[in-house]
Amino acid sequence: MKPSLAAVLSDRDGWFVAGLIGVLVFLAVIAMSAVLLVGSIAERWQDELASRILIQLSTASDDAPGAAGADGVSPETALQVQQALELLRAQPEVARAERLSQDRLAVLLQEWVGSQQALQSMPLPAVIEVELRPDARKRATELRERLRTALLHARIDAQIDVRIDGGPATQAPALRLMQGIEVLAILVVVVLAATLATSVVFATRTGLSRHQDAVEILHLLGADEAGIVDALTFGALRTALIGGIAGLVIGWLTLLAFGRLAAGAPYKMTSHCP
Amino acid sequence: MSRLVQSEPVARFEQVGLRYRSGPEILRDVTLTLPAGSFHFLLGPCGAGKTSLLRVLYLALRPSRGRFSLFGQDVAAAPRAELVPLRRRIGIVFQDFRLLPQLSVQDNIALPLRLGGRDEEAIRSDVAPMLLRTGLTGLAHAFPPELSGGQQQLAAIARALIVRPRLLIADEPTASVDEPLALRLIHLFQELNRLGTTVLIATHNERLASGFNHPRLRMEAGRIVQEGTVPVDSPPNVRPPVGSSTSVQEALP
Ligand SMILES: Nc1ncnc2c1ncn2[C@@H]1O[C@H](COP(=O)(O)OP(=O)(O)OP(=O)(O)O)[C@@H](O)[C@H]1O
Ligand SMILES: [Mg+2]
């Protein structure tokens, strides 16, 4: 490309556009990496949640004072747990079915209840943790219903309160929040991309009208339409490119810095002293 | 030396009228022929329509009425794309120079060549002698706003001559330079004319035009009122003798 031809239609205002584009690209990089980060966290959560189904068993006898045995539930419930475990382990989708120890249950519940004291005064139910095979994870919700029916059929019903936890929709408000953030960040990226495209088009158009005189001279000196378009778009493209690359580099450096902060890795000072 | 008889005129105006938007008619019934290889001065008072006539000639404006053909092609209704090759055969010196302020003097001069798709090597070898010719070598890398009016005029002329045009249209090309330089410039145009370029120079400067043995066209209020070398209403001895170019040579610095 002829450098001087592009120079005809470039000017200082072009640098304002370049700066604008740089800022937009910077924001897009940050938003985009937020999308990727939140997305990957949400996916991992979702995967973990979907791979586990928690089944809570309890009988009316659990609520009676002193009914609980050494493992924290009544013998009646313990028996039901045993039956349920056998039934669950027979399911093809189930990789592992285990009753949660009371300690782990306490830790899990603490996250939702908040305090250790409140937990101690509560009777803890028996909870079976079912881990699904990877290929069954996507069908967690459907499987939950199947397991419920199977348990009912095995007469682990009537007085047994079977509650199956699991599945992203019912389980995790935090996950929903994450997905909300993800959607928001995608929206931000889309809006930024649209703004970027608009500002390039706008810059080219104002360039054309601002350079009307130069364009006329070029015509009279024998420029064809292609030559004029070349000069215009090359100029706009070059400023856009410079702005874009600057935004990209700064965005990338910012992410790098954040990555270091997150990893808690301070910059190491290398000492040359013995 | 026998010259080929070129029957095809470079430009022909027939009953051309021009108005700017809905304003009054600025050119009225202009009928004019520029034979190939001719050299004309176009004279007339301010606002007579000289620049407007030249604008039609260098294809910046289309006539509002009448017929106009350039290099044998009727351009009144020609599509834009067809005008490009015609424009590349024309050298224009604008009255207001119209140099591009973002480009250095040498890039301004090289611009028509670049637009014509010439390679950089050839451009360099053409621009350097042209800079020398117009005394702008020292200002090659300067930008138009840093130049004096006369220097800008020289750059504008260099840009018009660089393409070795078949038609040179110069609008007041000597308005910003001193008398000796003006004479030198006209000589430069004459040199080009001897090589076959058709030349039309619009100027206020009657004295300058009368120092040369070239036909003078006179415009008044949008009409060509007088055509030919010999003024109709003045005795022939007003015009300098044919050999007057020697006296012009004496005036050169
Ligand atoms: N772009 C334009 N729009 C409207 N009217 C114009 C335009 N350009 C020129 N005119 C008018 O056309 C008339 C002729 O102008 P033109 O520039 O052709 O005269 P000129 O003979 O070149 O004058 P000068 O010797 O001062 O250069 C003037 O009355 C002027 O006002
Ligand atoms: Mg004029």
Over the stretch B73-119, which tens digit does the pLDDT of each residue have? 998 888 888 999 999 999 999 999 999 988 899 999 999 998 888 88
Please answer whether residues A231 and A9 qualify as being in contact, where contact means their C-beta atoms are separated by less than 8 angstroms.
yes
Higher pLDDT, A252 or A7: A252
pLDDT in tens, B13-44: 999 999 998 889 999 999 999 999 999 999 99
A217 contacts in B (CB within 8 Å)?
A: 98, 100
Integer angstrom CA distances of residue B38 from B93, B192, B205: 17, 11, 20
Q: How far is CA B81 from CA A219, B87, B89, in A?
A: 11, 10, 14
Q: What is the pTM of this model?
A: 0.62
**Residue ranges of the domains in chain A?**
5-45+172-263, 51-170
Domain span at residue B205?
Answer: 35-59+89-251
| pLDDT exceeds cutoff 90 at B250 | no
User: At the topology level of CATH, where does A51-170 sit?
Assistant: Alpha-Beta Plaits (3.30.70)
* Interface ipTM: 0.83
In whole angstroms, what is the distance from residue A9 CA to residue A234 CA? 9
B3 within a domain of the structure (yes/no): no
Residue B220, in any domain of the structure = yes
CATH assignment of the domain containing B158: 3.40.50.300
Percentage of chain A beyond pLDDT 90 is 3
Q: Whose CA is nearest to atom 6 of ligand 1?
A: B20
Q: Give, for A140, the enclosing helix (H) or strand (E).
A: helix A140-153
B58 pLDDT more than 90: yes
Is the CB–ligand 1 distance for residue B20 below 6 Å?
yes
Ligand 1 atom at shortest distance from the alpha carbon of B44? 21
Separation in Å, CA A125 to CA A78, A120, A237? 10, 12, 66
Summarize the confidence of residues B52-61 as an average pLDDT: 94
Q: Does A176 touch chain B (CB under 8 A)?
A: no
Q: Are strands A94-99 and B65-70 parallel, antiparallel or unpaired?
A: unpaired
Which percentage of chain B shows pLDDT scores above 90? Answer: 70
A21, A236, A26, A61: which is closest to A160 by C-alpha? A61
In this prediction, residue A238 carries a pLDDT of 73
**Residue B79 in domain:** no
Window from B87-96, B203-212, B241-250 with minimum mean pLDDT: B241-250
Per residue in A208-267, pLDDT (tens digit) is 777 788 888 999 999 888 777 766 666 667 777 888 899 999 988 988 887 777 665 444
B-contacting residues in A 191-250 (Cβ below 8 Å) = 213-214, 216-225, 227
**Is residue A182's pLDDT more than 90?**
no
Straight-line distance from the first to the last Cα atom of chain B, in angstroms, rounded to the nearest whole number:
31
Q: Is residue B50 part of a domain?
A: yes
Q: Is residue B7 part of a domain?
A: no
pLDDT band at B245 (very low <50, low <70, confident <90, very high): very low
Count of pairs with CB atoms under 8 A, one residue in A, one in B: 54
- Over residues B226-247, the mean pLDDT reads 43
User: Which positions ≥6 away from A212 have C-beta within 8 Å?
Assistant: none
Task: Flag whether pLDDT at A123 surpasses 90.
Answer: no
**Mean pLDDT score across all residues of chain B:** 86
Cβ of B87 within 8 Å of Cβ of A7? The answer is no
Q: Compare A155 and B182 and report the one with higher pLDDT.
A: B182
The number of distinct structural domains making up chain B is 1
Report the residue among B42, B52, B64 best suited for mutation to probe ligand 1: largest number of ligand atoms under 8 A from its CB.
Answer: B52
| Residue among B56, B62, B84, B89 with most chain A CBs within 10 A, to mutate | B84
Selecting from A11, A220, A222 the residue whose C-beta is nearest the C-beta of B102 gives A11
Q: How confident is the model at residue B253 (pLDDT cuts 50, 70, 90)?
A: very low
Residues of chain A contacting residue B144, judged by C-beta atoms under 8 Å apart: none
